[in-house]
């Protein structure tokens, strides 16, 4: 559960963003800008991150605010799940990342797995659609839907790239240190259940 201050800051940001996009009256625009500035001040007060950086990360969008999409491809071999070591933090995650706007969920999964793990896969089953801030740390100023998809491995081999340093297949009892902002142990357990159970139903918040 995200802290209340973050929920309030995100709500203020969403109201301000929509107001700035659709208001015509100059006084209303000024008021909505003040609301956006207030949301930035709240984040600065509780996180210590500079207002300039928060504005760059948190107030860089226009129009009606919608969630971002994070996709993850769960790939198994011999009852072990594929994980990649992230270059940014040196921790491990299910391959994936931000969805590109001009690709379908299926196309995004195929692309991300190829780029991060060097593998060709066929997406097979939707495992879950989760609200990131209900499951992952640290809390994010963005609203994010995390989509997990079970994939069939076709072929390929890992090649080091700008996003990941190595890859490997791991059992549930032998997981490496996880990048919990990307995936938790509970989410990986969920993927194992989807793979091993014939009666698994898609999970969503």
Q: What was the pLDDT predicted at 123?
A: 98
Query: What does the buried/exposed string (b/e) look like for 169-179 if buried means 16 or more CB atoms within 10 Å of the residue's CB?
Result: eeeeeeeeebb
Q: SS3 for 76?
A: strand
Q: Cα–Cα distance between 183 and 186 in angstroms, integer?
A: 8
Q: What was the pLDDT predicted at 138?
A: 78
Output the six-digit token pair for 31: 């008021």
The predicted model scores a pTM of 0.78
Residue by residue, pLDDT tens for the chain (205 residues) are: 678 888 888 889 889 888 888 898 888 989 999 998 998 888 888 877 787 877 776 677 777 778 889 999 999 999 999 999 999 999 999 999 999 988 999 999 999 999 999 999 999 999 999 999 889 887 777 789 999 999 999 999 998 899 999 999 999 999 999 999 999 999 999 999 999 998 999 999 9
Q: What was the pLDDT predicted at 38?
A: 92
Q: Tokens 């594929």 sit at which residue? A: 82
Q: What was the pLDDT predicted at 1?
A: 63
Q: What was the pLDDT predicted at 58?
A: 67
Which CATH architecture is the domain 68-204 placed in?
Alpha-Beta Complex (3.90)
Q: What was the pLDDT predicted at 121?
A: 98
Q: Provide the residue ranges of all domains of the chain, joining segments of one domain with +.
A: 4-58, 68-204
Q: What was the pLDDT predicted at 57?
A: 67
Output the six-digit token pair for 196: 């091993």
């Amino acid at each position: 559960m995200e802290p209340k201050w973050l929920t309030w800051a995100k709500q203020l940001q969403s109201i301000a963003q929509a107001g700035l996009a659709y208001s015509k009256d100059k006084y209303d625009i000024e008021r909505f800008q003040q609301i956006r500035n207030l949301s930035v001040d709240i984040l600065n007060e509780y996180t210590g991150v500079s207002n300039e950086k928060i504005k760059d990360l948190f107030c860089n969008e226009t129009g009606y605010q919608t969630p971002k999409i994070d996709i993850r491809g769960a790939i198994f071999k011999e009852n072990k799940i594929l994980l990649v070591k992230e270059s940014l933090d040196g921790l491990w995650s299910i391959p994936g990342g931000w969805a590109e706007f001009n690709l379908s969920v299926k196309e995004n999964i195929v692309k991300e797995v190829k780029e991060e793990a060097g593998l060709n896969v066929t997406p097979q089953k939707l495992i879950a659609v989760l609200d990131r801030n209900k499951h992952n740390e640290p809390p994010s100023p963005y609203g994010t839907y995390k989509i997990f998809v079970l994939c069939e491995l076709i072929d390929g081999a890992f090649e080091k790239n700008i996003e990941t340093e190595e890859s490997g297949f791991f059992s549930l009892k032998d997981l490496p240190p996880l990048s919990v902002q990307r995936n938790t142990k509970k989410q990986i357990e969920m993927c194992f259940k989807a793979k091993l159970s014939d009666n698994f139903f898609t999970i969503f918040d």
